[in-house]
Amino acid sequence: MSESNQWENLRCLYAEDLKNKRVTITVSGVRDTPKGARLYCQSGESEAWDIAFLEHGKDGKTPYIQLPKPNQYGKSCGLLRGYKAIMGGEPCEEHVGHKLTLYPVKSSKSATGQAIRIAVPEQMA
């Protein structure tokens, strides 16, 4: 997975950052979340992938999202299922340069009350 200076100046992208709009962004890097920096989600602690994006925010930092890896039973979360539907598989370097459309949804499972989802065309859903 890619290792470059893009991973030095990160800012996690939250649903609130999308300001209730669909946002199309370009994947600039994919990596396994570094050891010790695990994702805590509804189903508990999880290993994850970091997906960095080309478009920078006003703060100049690289926005990224974390996609939880499938659990021990092979079950994927909704965000990962959307990613796999669009990209054709789990996160990998070959996805750099591809575009994703993200949008916010209300979520009772999220601490902030909103979550990010990946738009999947109807014919793919």
What is the C-alpha separation between 28 and 44, in angstroms, rounded? 28
The CA distances from residue 83 to 9, 34, 35, 51, 108, in Å, are 24, 20, 22, 10, 21
Cβ atoms 36, 125 nearer than 8 A: no
Q: What are phi and psi of 39, to 5 degrees?
A: -90, 135
CA 94 from centroid of its chain's CA atoms = 16
Per-residue pLDDT of the chain (125 residues; tens, 9 = 90+): 444 577 888 888 999 999 999 999 999 999 998 876 656 555 556 788 999 999 887 788 999 998 988 876 677 778 889 999 999 999 999 999 999 999 999 988 777 889 899 999 875 54
